[in-house]
Structure 1
Amino acid sequence: MSKTILIVDDSASIRQVVGITLKGAGYSVIEAVDGKDALAKLESAPKINLVISDVNMPNMDGISFLKEFKQKPAYKFTPVIMLTTEGAEAKKREGQAAGAKAWVVKPFKPEQMLQAVSMLIN
């Protein structure tokens, strides 16, 4: 059975690139446009094995989403990769404190993303 990955990003092109990369590697993909949308999708989604989330998004940013996501008992130990243009150390620390397991800076190489994903869910 393939693992399911939730991609949370307000950029349709980023969701598309990440989605194609992951589907090509055999993962199932669910997309959300921001943190609020992602939390809503969790209600009806199959078990999510990993989340890839942007940091800067409208409505609910990635760090706020991550904090709420980690409050859910079913997802307490689900790995999260932050995919962002933010390279600032302070932001990285904030993300790690909220529970992010990896930090990938845009623009990213697809193989770099797959490497991070396979390290976290295999």
Structure 2
Amino acid sequence: MFEHDCNILVVDDDRDLRTTVAQVLEDEGYHVDEASNGKEALERLHAGPAPDLLLLDLMMPVMNGEQFRQEQQKEPDLARIPVVVMTAAGSRVNDRIEAIAPAAVLQKPVGLEDLLGTIAHILERPL
């Protein structure tokens, strides 16, 4: 296992998916925190320390991914954190995804190679 000095926040209302992604990332040496919706994610960001990357679902209760991203972008310290959107919505939400300017978009179900490759690329870390 390679130890990464990177923290990732996984934001998804699907507990099984969130836990699985977190476990895969931890197995790869990342430090991982989890949130079940955008409101919880914002609370974690405000509590600090800020993660190096956010994996964000779009369709969640309480505060969805778009609402979260709009709030995140209002605060310069939080806006700098890159966001990777993970969605099953497909092309029907392309305009909405483009409007929130993520660093990358992964379609669910997300393949392990795509997930790790995208994270490594954004964080400029070797796989």
Q: So what's the TM-score if we normalise by structure 1?
A: 0.92
Q: Distance in 2 between matches of 1:96 and 1:3?
A: 26
Task: Return the structure number with greater relative CO, CA threshold 8 A, min gap 6.
Answer: 1
List alignment gaps of at least 5 residues for structure 1.
none
Give 1:41 shift: 1.0
- Counting matched residue pairs gives 121
Q: Distance in 2 between matches of 1:99 and 1:75?
A: 14
Give 1:19 shift: 0.4
Deviations 1:17-56 (A, max 9, x none): 1101211121111100000111111122312111001010
List alignment gaps of at least 5 residues for structure 2.
none
Paired residues of 1:8 and 1:31 also in contact (CA < 8 A): yes
| Deviation beyond 4 Å, 4+ runs, structure 1 | none
Q: Distance in 1 between matches of 2:56 and 2:117?
A: 16
Q: So what's the TM-score if we normalise by structure 2?
A: 0.88
Paired residues of 1:70 and 1:76 also in contact (CA < 8 A): yes
Q: Distance in 2 between matches of 1:6 and 1:96?
A: 21
Match in the other structure for 1:47: 50
Q: Distance in 2 between matches of 1:96 and 1:77?
A: 17
Q: Distance in 1 between matches of 2:8 and 2:64?
A: 18
Deviations 1:50-101 (A, max 9, x none): 1001010001111111111121111222210111111125x12322221211
Q: In terms of Rg, which structure is larger? A: 2
- Percent sequence identity over matched residues? 31
The correspondence of residues 1-122 of structure 1 with structure 2, limited to 5 A, is 2-89=5-92, 91-122=93-124
